[in-house]
Chain A
Amino acid sequence: MALLEVKGLVKHFVAQRSLFGRALAHVKAVDGVSFSLEAGKTLALVGESGCGKSTVSRLVLRLIEPDAGTVRFDGRDLLSLDAAALRKFRREAQIIFQDPYASLNPRMTVGQILTEPLALHDLVPPSQRRERVAEILRLVGMEPRLERRYPHEFSGGQRQRIAIARALAVEPKLIICDEPVSALDVSIRSQILNLLRELQDRLGLAYIFVSHDLAVVKHIADHVAVMNLGQIVETAEADALFAAPRHPYSRALLSAIPVPKPRAKRSRIVLQGEIPSALTPPPGCRFHTRCPYVAERCRSEMPQLLPDGIGHATACHRTSELPSSEAIVPVDGGFSPVLEKLVAAFSGGPEAVRGSGVSSLGTDPA
């Protein structure tokens, strides 16, 4: 059984009210989203700003209440939980935010930040909490002595480690990572990605990974759901999606990934026009205003998300008629042979280099 099962999730925010408080306009942030997630796996939600991916992640945690739909976590119906049961559930599902400068209380020490969840959920007797905090810090690669420090004393990457540590403190089964590395520099980003991956292997965590960086998604996700204007337009195993995206929107998205390889082979699809407003999404297929393959039917009839035999689902009337999508994702060709060796040596640390029989060359600086 899946750890998390989401069916027909809907959330409309009121965008404008009349003088008497009647809702005049709604933002259809999430409109009929369904997916499931196995324990220990990663589902990535991708799409442009405003597509509803962050709203979905908050609905799953019941941080906001959905207008319709069901969320089942570990067999329980989340939406029917009372306050006490909901609090228990919060132990099992946690969230990490994008901005580690805003998500940590500046007036609390790291130790206090990490002790709070232990105390709230009464997980560890007070006498053992310090020991547990030290353990959690070591788990995220930080030294226990740092518990006396305040968040402002740390760099962005270290703060994100603290945020991850706080999420781990309650031993959750699911962590929602909302753009967890978007605010970080490249070299720091790889540390956090490695850490998330390692923790997943070690602790069997499931992740919902919200991101607009598709190379990062390819690296970390098992499954991907592509969202456009509040709906999932395509969902598949990450490898299958990146090998051959089907929906015209996914094609455009993946074709635009910048790859670190000059003159990479690519056939970029540049979408024309603007993203339609979520206040008045277009009728029919919500992508039809920007779709290069639009047909008459797309303007009036909303396509269903239909899975094929291996679970690759697409919401497009023209799925079967579209041209092959094989050459759509840019080919970066990986590392050059020299770079491959250099990166391996770089990651191997000093021993890897000094031990490689080059000391006679290396000792005489040019």
Chain B
Amino acid sequence: MSASPLIEIKDLRIRFHGDDGRITYAVDSVDLSVANGATLGLVGESGCGKSVTSLAIMGLLPKQSAEISGAIRFDGFDLLKTSDQTLRDLRGNRLAMIFQEPMTSLNPSLTIGDQITETILRHRGGSRRSARERAIELLRRVHIPSPERRIDEYPHKLSGGMRQRVMIAMALACDPRLLIADEPTTALDVTLQAQILELMRELKAASGAAIILITHDLGVVAEVCDEVAVMYAGEIVERAPVDELFSTPQHPYTVGLLGSIPRLDHRAEQLATIEGMVPNMMRPPAGCRFAARCPFMLDACTKAPPPLVEISPGHLSRCIRAPLERLVS
């Protein structure tokens, strides 16, 4: 980790206030940082808070219902305290995001050219013609064939993989410093997934932007990330360099996740399963949030929330039984 990370999240907490007065504790005490040019994987299952965290970074959570505290430092700003105007200047410019569903995040009534040039004109100004040239250049960079022709097409004319590439082109329009990609390949076939991952790697090498990759696919994480944060029930339960996470995970939840993926190399009769269900986030448990599903649980686990502790340099775990090796040696 370099001395001054590009983005630093400190003690981020997000609560949603429902119409009925009930509170959902979506994200709790999340600390994260990403260095320039690094890729952080944010992993977890549906509802663990990974997408909400990214929306908080982008300032896209609804003001009426979301109560956010903590700090998100990016480029000299605290994103949680900046004005809407400043946020608008940052978004699409130094801070960009790619969403999972390219069909719903592109405007169906505008050509892809209109949508890309809009971003360029908003942040960079200049003439329409130069913006259009830049847009064509961007489409070429994401390997869209005959971009001069494609630029005047509407999103529905493009295949899923092409649309995702348009989304990426748009995100790259102003050379962002940080790119947040929320499940960018989940809706795609493996062959297209391979193309998009290759493209993201290429672009990272070329631009030096940092990437936060949100995904539930540990295979994708292993391929593109330098560091990984595993989230469970609104908390980060483990953070580690990618190699260590896959070789010596230090949180039982991570062990369960890794054990539950079918492997190509050996045909296990039974895959590991994580019994039980995620806790109700309106009443998160007092102790460790994973305790009820954890085969390594002790009485102490349910008494107090475990802190996120460094087990080895750069490897943190929110489990009082870590290092886990000693449980099986």
In A143-186, the 8 Å CB interface with B consists of 155, 185-186
CA A329 to CA B327, docked complex, whole Å: 34
Interface string of A228-256 (1 = CB under 8 A from B): 00000000000000100000000011011
Check if B82 is an interface residue, CB within 8 A of chain A.
no
Q: Are B193 and A258 in contact (CB under 8 A)?
A: yes
In the complex, chain A residues whose CB is within 8 Å of the CB of B160: 49
From B46, B145, B162, B198, residue with most partner A Cβ within 10 Å: B46
Of chain A, the residue at the smallest CB distance from B309 is: A366
Q: Which one, B106-114, B204-212, B241-249, is touching chain A?
A: B241-249
Check if A331 is an interface residue, CB within 8 A of chain B.
yes
Interface string of B250-269 (1 = CB under 8 A from A): 00100111111111111111
Known interface pairs A48-B191, A342-B255. Does A348 touch B295 (Cβ–Cβ under 8 Å)?
Answer: yes
- How many residue pairs link A and B with beta carbons under 8 A? The number is 203
CA A341 to CA B249, docked complex, whole Å: 12
Q: Are B145 and A259 in contact (CB under 8 A)?
A: no
Of chain B, the residue at the smallest CB distance from A242 is: B264
Interface string of B199-224 (1 = CB under 8 A from A): 00000000000000000111111110
From the candidates A215, A339, A345, name the one contacting B264 in the complex (CB within 8 A): A215
From the candidates B265, B297, B300, B322, name the one contacting A334 in the complex (CB within 8 A): B265
Q: Are B195 and A258 in contact (CB under 8 A)?
A: no
Check if B68 is an interface residue, CB within 8 A of chain A.
no
Q: Which one, B23-31, B125-133, B166-174, B272-280, is touching chain A?
A: B272-280
In the complex, chain A residues whose CB is within 8 Å of the CB of B326: 358, 361-362
B53 to chain A, nearest CB (A): 18
Q: Are B248 and A339 in contact (CB under 8 A)?
A: yes
17 A-B contacts, Cβ less than 8 Å apart?
A49-B189, A190-B271, A219-B271, A253-B190, A256-B193, A258-B190, A259-B222, A260-B258, A260-B263, A334-B263, A335-B259, A336-B248, A339-B255, A346-B256, A358-B326, A362-B326, A363-B298
Additional A-B contacts beyond A197-B269, A258-B197 (12; CB < 8 A): A218-B267, A252-B191, A256-B191, A260-B246, A261-B222, A263-B243, A264-B222, A268-B198, A274-B145, A329-B264, A346-B296, A353-B296
B residues apposed to A, CB below 8 Å: 45-46, 145, 159-162, 189-195, 197-198, 216-223, 242-243, 246-249, 252, 255-274, 277, 295-298, 300, 306, 309, 320-322, 324-329
A residues apposed to B, CB below 8 Å: 48-49, 155, 185-187, 189-191, 193-194, 197, 212, 214-216, 218-220, 242, 252-253, 255-264, 268, 270-271, 273-275, 329-336, 338-339, 341-350, 352-353, 356, 358, 361-363, 365-366
